[in-house]
Structures are given as C-alpha cells and as structure tokens.
Amino acid sequence: MHRVRSGSGHFDRAMCMYKVGHMINLKISALAGALAIGLASMASAASVTFNFADKDRTKTPSIEMTDASGLKLTTTAARYSYLSGNYIDRNLGGKVKTDKDAGLSVLTGSNDSHWIDGGGTYNDVAVLTFSKNVEVKSLLLYGWDSGDKLGFSTDFTKAGPGGWVSYGGSLPSVGESSVFYLWSHYDSKVEFKLKAITVEYEESTNQTPVPLPASGVLLLGALGGAAALRRRRKA
C-alpha cells in the first residue's frame, strides 16, 4: 500500500509540474504576442495632403499650415539667377501667396508675376519645410503643360540646382527629408503653381504599449510558481 501511495504522489507531482510548465509556456506566448502588438502599434504610416488652392492668401514671407495629425508645413521663398551657363545667385528671399482654385506662387522681384516661374530677374523657388521627415508622394500643379520643366530635390546650393526633369505626373526620386525645394527652369515660358502636395510619414500611435505591463506580471507570477515548486521538491 505504501508503494501505491508513493507512486500516486510521484504521478501527482509530475502532473503538477506539467500544468505549471504549460502555464509558463502559455504566458510566455501571451507576452510575446503582446510585445508584437505593442511594437506594431508604436508607428504607422500617415498620409497627409496640404491644399494650397483652398483660399486666397496675400503676399507674405511664409505660409504655415498644420494638418489635424499635427504635421506642420512652412512654405517660404528662395531665388536664383542663371547667366551664360552659370548660376550667379542663390539665396532666400521674396514672398509667397496663394490663389483660390489655383495654388501657391512665389514672388522674388518687384515685377515678378504671380507664378512659380523662370521669367523676371530671378527664377522662383518654393521651399517646403515640414516639422517631421516625410516622403513626398505626389504634386498637383496648376497651369502645367508638357513643355514646362521643373526641379524638385532635397538639396539646393549656391552652385545651383541639379538636373532638370520634365514633370509628367511622376516625381523624381528625392528620398525622405524635412525640407524640399521646388523650382522652375530658367526659361521665361515656364510657369506653374502648386495646388497641393501629398506626403507620408511615420506616425507614433502608442508611446507606452498597454499590454506589456500586465503580461509581464503574468510571466513573473508563473516563474515564481515554478521556483516554489522546485523548492518543495528539494524539501
């Protein structure tokens, strides 16, 4: 009879160890799942469109627009001159304005027309500065035709702009940045306005994932139970 009881006790302890081990595995799996959910919730891609053709804005050194998500866009003016194959001037200066149903224009001289254009004393540049790093997905232009050329990049130096592209609905590859330059080709026939720009950025949605603390407590409880079981076996 004593041996039967002893065998039953070993069986009971083995079953108990199995159950505790099973619980630990379940809680570790739950913690891993919660961690995956928490990490996935910390960042997501947000798409934002800034509309310059929504209303009239008078001439001003800068235009500030903030989306409901909190992304801010500040638009200012720059200018450059081109003569005999050389860029002879590049600096910030001028003003920006918008026209309802048409969009953004840049004015860099006293007689400059209300476009982003290549005529007049200076060639116009729109400087778009975002509060976060973004990737530009699309531009919507007003007054554009197939013969026009524009520059679009994250770099605009005193040496002048880089290569020109004929904009046909697809953007040149410029990469992610917080500052972008949009300028007209040095040609008096080139003129357009920026109606809208659409960008994407990584938006933080949950800085402190909620599932992690509760899952951590479960895991600690399971590990504590396993330690207590080992102490009982030694006793």
pLDDT along the chain (235 residues), means of 10: 51 50 47 44 82 97 96 95 78 92 92 86 92 94 84 81 66 86 85 96 68 52 54 55
Total structural domains within the chain = 2
Same domain assignment for residues 15 and 101: no
Provide the pLDDT for residue 235.
Answer: 56
Same domain assignment for residues 143 and 173: yes
Paired residues of 181 in beta bridges? 127, 153
In 3-state terms the chain splits into helix, strand, coil percentages (rounded to 5) of: 25, 40, 30
Determine whether 182 is exposed, middle or buried from the number of CB atoms within 10 Å of its CB (0-12, 13-18, 19+): buried
> Looking at the whole model, is its pTM more than 0.85?
no
Question: Are 105 and 114 spatial neighbours (Cβ–Cβ below 8 Å)?
Answer: yes
Which helix (H) or strand (E) covers residue 80, if one does? strand 72-83
Provide the pLDDT for residue 168.
Answer: 64
| Whole-angstrom Cα Rg for the chain | 31
Q: Is 184 helix (H, G, I), strand (E, B) or coil?
A: strand
Provide the pLDDT for residue 182.
Answer: 92
Same domain assignment for residues 19 and 111: no
Provide the pLDDT for residue 82.
Answer: 81
Question: Are 218 and 154 spatial neighbours (Cβ–Cβ below 8 Å)?
Answer: no
Domain span holding position 156: 45-204
Same domain assignment for residues 24 and 104: no
Same domain assignment for residues 35 and 49: no
Same domain assignment for residues 14 and 82: no
Question: Are 184 and 123 spatial neighbours (Cβ–Cβ below 8 Å)?
Answer: yes
Same domain assignment for residues 123 and 156: yes
Same domain assignment for residues 180 and 224: no
Question: Are 125 and 79 spatial neighbours (Cβ–Cβ below 8 Å)?
Answer: yes
Provide the pLDDT for residue 230.
Answer: 56
